[in-house]
Amino acid sequence: MTRRTWYRAMVALFAVALAIGLAACGSSSNKSEESSTGSTSAVSGQPGKGKPAITLGSKNFTEEYILGQLYLQALKAKGYSVSLKNNIGSSEITDKALTTGKIDMYPEYTGVIVGELAHENGRPKSADETYTKAKAFEEKRGFTLLDKSPGQDADVNVTTPSYAQKNGIKTTADLKKVPGFKFGAPPENKTRFQGAVGMKQVYGLNFKFVPLAIGLRYQALDSGKVDVIAGFTTEGQLVDKKKYLLLPDPQGIFGFQNITPVINKKKLAAMGPEFQTIVNGVTSKLTDEALQKMNGAVDIDKQKPADVAKKFLQANGLL
């Protein structure tokens, strides 16, 4: 081989080696870039980045305002684009907003779904049975339920200790001793089995129904405008046992009322598995005690629902 031939051969080999090296670098760079793009959200703790926007709704009372803020803040902290439609109305109105696509998700109560939305005959015997029936109903409509809370906010009749003592009342059944008592409740209670309808059909009670805005019930009871009100077991006011008396429901017409987010199934599928993990993480912390403390912070201490929700999420490592 001549010197010139040897030189040309070496140049050619160098060129090939350079091309292979550049190709390898380019391949590595591309793979690195693709890997980086796919994992940026996970690494940064923002699994919601790039996911579709979701509209969350809440009903028309204190606990729902707090729940709306809990889910809103927990999801936004993880990068999800969430808007909140607050104070929509009763379950019947909020359910209509869900089924017409005005909202994608909202926190509901299992017993309300079974009794008032599905109009199921019969009364479930347990919280789990209630949840199963509620989920089956929602699945048929294109929605589903996420986990249910350990605590429940059940309907309960509330009176004053003095009124109960005067009339010999210990349970809702005993109200039959007082025909014509004044019963104060939100307007929708009048047509609900888990309300005025069940009280008449099951307990045979005879009373005057007084429609009240939810926020005015305790004021009406305190002033004597009504004798009994429709309450909720996790309301902050009920911590004061000397002022208010809860009347047990021996026939179980008020059922089991665990909190569960209802969500459009297609929307849930588009949000990725982390979404469900975040929402369930919030729900798992909703005990009776936690709910009553948060409700009391708003109704009695006059704190804002958003502030109460933020403190709760921070205290539980969810924000």
Whole-structure pTM over 0.85, yes or no?
Answer: no
CA terminus-to-terminus distance, the chain: 75
**Domains of the chain, with CATH numbers?**
54-152+256-315 (3.40.190.10), 155-247 (3.40.190.120)
181 has pLDDT over 50: yes
Per DSSP, the chain holds a count of helices (H) and strands (E) of: 12, 10
Which one, of 144, 158, 177, lies nearest residue 241 by Cα? 158
Average pLDDT over residues 200-225: 97
Average pLDDT over residues 190-199: 95
Report the half-sphere exposure of 279 (CA within 13 A, side-chain side): 25
Measure the CA–CA gap between 179 and 261, rounded to whole angstroms.
39
Confidence of residue 43 (pLDDT cuts 50, 70, 90): low
CB 172 within 8 A of CB 203: yes
Alpha-carbon torsion (159, 257, 310, 266), positive or negative: negative
The percentage of residues in the chain with a pLDDT greater than 70, rounded to a whole number, is 86
Confidence of residue 200 (pLDDT cuts 50, 70, 90): very high
Place of tokens 């629902």: 305
Confidence of residue 122 (pLDDT cuts 50, 70, 90): confident
Measure the CA–CA gap between 89 and 76, rounded to whole angstroms.
24
Confidence of residue 4 (pLDDT cuts 50, 70, 90): very low
Which one, of 151, 194, 200, lies nearest residue 176 by Cα? 200
Average pLDDT over residues 158-183: 97
Place of tokens 């890997």: 35
246, containing H or E segment:
strand 245-247
Residue 158 structure tokens: 């509330």
> What is the structure's pLDDT at 151?
97
263, containing H or E segment:
strand 259-264
Measure the CA–CA gap between 189 and 168, rounded to whole angstroms.
25
- pLDDT, tens only, 231-270: 999 999 999 999 999 999 999 999 999 999 999 999 999 9
Report the half-sphere exposure of 20 (CA within 13 A, side-chain side): 6
6 has pLDDT over 80: no
Average pLDDT over residues 125-140: 97
